[in-house]
């Protein structure tokens, strides 16, 4: 009825509990003979260490958190896949911490993290940009690594992408195709990358001598539905643009659907491009031209950063991850 403990194993193997502990933790100074006996005993008793007792005495939980506010599902999926990838065959476990709005209750969030007793956390945007969270995490001695922060880059290990340049490049690409009247669907304005991408678009416009009109910018929330709604708004106007730049892929796919509703062919009547290169961008027809952010790789790297800190290895301060323009079929030269 009772759990089998390290003491039971010791009794069966004829050694003290401490020796069992030594064997099981691979400490030196245990004779080969005893090692064998202990392992055999542990095996026959089907012994599993009590992780809480370990955590209590070692002051380490072997749990890592993934903190995200709910942007697009595809983004979160990639993120989580990356973290889990790095955690495979490690002793760390992943605890998922979805939060509502970092803005509103940052302090509460840290309370949550602390009471979860995590060793470290991977912070997705926009939590990765929040000063208070960073500060309190530090005070609570919880290691962290950040995904795509835009501010205070050196406050904690960071995985960066050049949102501005990426946005500039894809906008320049669309302009280069010959589009002159281009609308934009923004993401959630509370996400800092939204600002950065906006800036990149603007730069491309200016370099091409184009003007970015305010009434061509439609707000969105990084979700399919918000993209659909925004695009409907854009396309309902008599002077509709020939191209739409969407700040992420989910919204771009929404825009494609809106175009279909208006009987417009893509890319014939309307070019649409996204941002992220998430899963959905490859399964639509036509496939979505977008700019790839290596979310999966960033998540792997962020997890590595957390582990490195936990295991006292040389910390990695920051990595700049490359972006790639993914030219597919959803954007083309506008019809004359």
Partner DNA sequence: AGAGGGTATGACTGCGTTGACATAAGAAAG
Partner DNA sequence: CTTTCTTATGTCAACGCAGTCATACCCTCT
Binding site for DNA (CB under 7 A): 2-3, 5-7, 10, 14-19, 21-22, 24-25, 28-31, 33-34, 47, 49-50, 53-54, 56-58
Q: For DNA, which is the closer residue by CB, 29 or 89?
A: 29
User: First CA to last CA across the chain, in angstroms?
Assistant: 80
By CB under 8 A, how many residues form the interface with a second copy? Answer: 38
136 binds, among a second copy, DNA, none (CB under 5 to 8 A by kind): none
The upper half-sphere exposure of residue 154, i.e. CA atoms within 13 Å in the direction of its Cβ, equals 0
Burial of 222 from C-beta contacts in 10 A (0-12 / 13-18 / 19+): buried
Whole-angstrom distance, CA of residue 332 vs CA of residue 243: 9
Whole-angstrom distance, CA of residue 230 vs CA of residue 15: 71
33 binds, among DNA, a second copy, none (CB under 5 to 8 A by kind): DNA
Per CB under 8 A, contacts with a second copy among 252-271 are 253-254, 256-257, 260
Break the chain down into helix, strand, coil percent, rounded to 5: 45, 15, 40
CB of 51 to a second copy, least distance (A): 5
**Of the listed pieces 6-14, 146-154, 176-184, 275-283, which binds a second copy according to CB under 8 A?**
275-283
284 binds, among DNA, a second copy, none (CB under 5 to 8 A by kind): a second copy
**Of the listed pieces 107-115, 165-173, 177-185, 197-205, which binds a second copy according to CB under 8 A?**
107-115
Strand partners, 99: 69
Residue 114: DSSP 8-state: H
Q: For DNA, which is the closer residue by CB, 27 or 104?
A: 27
Tell me if 102 contacts a second copy by CB under 8 A.
no
Q: What phi and psi, each to the nearest 5 degrees, are found at residue 69?
A: -100, 155
């Amino acid at each position: 009825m009772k759990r089998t403990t390290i003491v039971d194993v010791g009794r069966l193997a004829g050694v003290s509990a401490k020796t069992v502990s030594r064997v099981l933790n691979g400490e030196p100074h245990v004779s080969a003979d005893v090692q064998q006996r202990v392992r055999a005993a542990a095996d026959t008793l089907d012994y599993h260490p009590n992780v809480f007792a370990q955590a209590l005495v070692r002051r380490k939980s072997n749990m890592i958190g993934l903190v995200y506010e709910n942007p697009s599902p595809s983004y979160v999926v990639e993120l989580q896949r990356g973290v889990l990838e790095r955690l495979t065959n490690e002793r760390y476990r992943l605890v998922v911490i979805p939060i509502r709005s970092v803005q509103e209750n940052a302090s509460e969030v840290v309370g949550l993290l602390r009471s979860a007793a995590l060793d470290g956390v991977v912070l997705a945007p926009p939590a990765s940009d929040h000063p208070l969270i960073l500060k309190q995490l530090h005070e609570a001695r919880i290691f962290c690594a950040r995904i795509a922060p835009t501010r205070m880059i050196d406050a904690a290990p960071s995985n960066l992408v050049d949102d501005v340049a990426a946005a500039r490049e894809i906008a320049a690409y669309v302009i280069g195709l010959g589009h002159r009247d281009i609308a934009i669907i923004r993401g959630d304005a509370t996400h800092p990358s939204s600002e950065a991408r906006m800036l990149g678009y603007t730069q491309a416009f200016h370099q091409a001598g184009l003007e970015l009109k305010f009434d061509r910018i439609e707000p969105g929330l990084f979700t399919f539905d918000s993209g659909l709604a925004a695009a409907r708004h854009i396309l309902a106007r008599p002077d509709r643009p020939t191209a739409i730049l969407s700040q992420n892929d989910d919204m771009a796919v929404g825009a494609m659907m809106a175009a279909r509703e208006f009987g417009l062919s893509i890319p014939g009547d309307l070019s649409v491009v996204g941002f992220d290169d998430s899963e959905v961008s490859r399964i639509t027809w036509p496939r979505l031209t977008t700019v790839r952010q290596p979310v999966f790789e960033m998540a792997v790297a962020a997890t590595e950063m957390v582990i490195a800190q936990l295991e006292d290895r040389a910390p990695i301060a920051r990595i700049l991850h490359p972006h790639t323009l993914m030219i597919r079929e959803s954007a083309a030269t506008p019809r004359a």
